[in-house]
Amino acid sequence: MVRRHFPKPSELAPLLKFKAPSFGGKKNRLESALTVGDLRTIAKRRTPKAPFDYCDGSAEAELSLTRARQAFEDVEFHPAILRDVSQVSTSWDVLGSSVAFPIGIAPTGFTRMMHSEGEDAGAMTAAKWGIPFALSTMGTRSIEHVKSVAPEGRNWFQLYMWKDRERSMELVDRAAKAGFDTLQVTVDVPVAGARLRDKRNGFSIPPALTLGTVLNALPRPWWWFDFLTTDTLEFASLSSWEGTVAELLDHMFDPTVTYEDLAWIKKQWPGKLVVKGVQSVADARQLASMGVDGIVLSNHGGRQLDRAPIPFHLLPQVVKEVGKDTEVHVDTGIMSGADVVAAIAMGARFTMVGRAYLYGLMSGGAEGVDRMLQIVTEQMTRTMRLLGVSSLEELAPDHVTQLQRLVPRPIGG
């Protein structure tokens, strides 16, 4: 028989752990986020549908994005035991300079549509964390502005080659003069992908005040207050635009760009040159033979060709082919620090996060971006410890198995 008694107040006292009420709404909601997925949930609640969907969505049936994320979820880790992991080093060199973590903020377009702090929040937070920030040609702050808010940051510029080559190279010249150390040329955009969410939402620049957008804004007045009371949108690459996003992209993107054009750009640029949007071993090999400093395996976050190759699955083959001479970076589908660890173990030198960054931004501006990096870097160091490694150099392919659901059928099968 269990003997029972009524607890005395002295016995209850140690169990009473009431917290003092906190009235910091932003601080509370960001602290409640334990994953990038949690930040996405907050971002969706706080951001109007059109800009949120622009960030969250991808092309057509969105299979490329789904598959890229699934590839990271299908990783099996192989830990080693009884290793001293009391200290973990997450720093090494990327493109000739040290980074605190092998993570950078990917170039994103129309960023101040997601949150009024936009690129300011991304560039300043990246500088604080000792990681690179990439400004998009379609960004909403100028090259010079980003330099002014993050003068000590590792700033990169992402270039889309326009039909107007002279204006494209003006941007390259401005980035060089501003001290940006890396040019990231995106090559998977001969035309804009079919981003159906944007078409259904009528997403335009500037956002149109229709009955639908007004109704959607009613529970999100803070977003409209920020948008209407801060600077008008200014693009890194053009002074103004009236029309839909798809019309703007088709106006700018050049379907005639070739390897010869890339070689010409390489001659003009004094810093490191990285090519983003590589999706085959053959193209990686040709780029390496041209002497580019790095390539980014990326399907543009699934926003261009649907059913595109999965960057993470391409990684081992590409590293084997070009990894001695050319840095291999990975973008698309990274949503956690464990994803970063898996990519590094499979041979990547560097990874980039785009949507994860924007989810943090939409959740709370610069503080939200900071919270995203806290989450991802804590996940990363914890995963390394649990794998039994104390530095990035110790991560190796035998720490990871890429489980694969989509197996090609034999030809003729």
Give dist(CA 262, CA 265) in Å, integer: 5
Q: Which of 115, 300, 329, 399 is catalytic?
A: 300
Mean pLDDT of 105-130: 95
pLDDT for 213: 64
Percent of the chain surpassing pLDDT 70: 90
Q: Clarify whether 300 is annotated catalytic.
A: yes
Min mean pLDDT across 2-16, 166-180, 370-384 is at 2-16
pLDDT for 17: 67
Indicate the pLDDT class of residue 328, thresholds 50, 70 and 90: very high
User: pLDDT tens, 121-169?
Assistant: 999 999 999 999 999 998 999 999 999 999 999 999 999 887 777 888 8
Q: Which residue has the higher pLDDT, 217 or 351?
A: 351
pLDDT for 254: 82
pLDDT for 21: 60
Indicate the pLDDT class of residue 110, thresholds 50, 70 and 90: confident
pLDDT for 238: 64
Q: Which residue has the higher pLDDT, 368 or 406?
A: 368
The CATH classification number of 34-401 equals 3.20.20.70
pTM for the predicted model, two decimal places: 0.92
Q: Is residue 214 pLDDT above 70, yes or no?
A: no
Mean pLDDT of 285-314: 96
Indicate the pLDDT class of residue 244, thresholds 50, 70 and 90: low
Q: Is residue 240 pLDDT above 60, yes or no?
A: no
pLDDT for 231: 83
Indicate the pLDDT class of residue 179, thresholds 50, 70 and 90: very high
Q: Is residue 114 pLDDT above 80, yes or no?
A: yes
* Domain boundaries defined on the chain: 34-401
pLDDT for 161: 82
Q: Is residue 403 pLDDT above 70, yes or no?
A: yes
Q: Which two tokens stand for residue 293?
A: 């400093």
Q: Is residue 346 pLDDT above 80, yes or no?
A: yes
Q: Is residue 19 pLDDT above 70, yes or no?
A: no
pLDDT for 167: 80
Distances (CA, A) of 249 to 36, 51, 148, 201: 28, 16, 27, 17
Q: Is residue 65 pLDDT above 80, yes or no?
A: yes
Give dist(CA 204, CA 400) in Å, integer: 43
pLDDT for 20: 61
Indicate the pLDDT class of residue 22, thresholds 50, 70 and 90: low
Q: Which residue has the higher pLDDT, 297 or 245?
A: 297
User: pLDDT tens, 353-392?
Assistant: 999 999 999 999 999 999 999 999 999 999 999 999 999 9
What mean pLDDT is reported for the chain? 90
pLDDT for 23: 59
List CB contacts of 223: < 8 A, sequence separation 6 or more. Answer: 46, 47, 48, 115, 217
Min mean pLDDT across 135-149, 237-251, 312-326, 375-389 is at 237-251
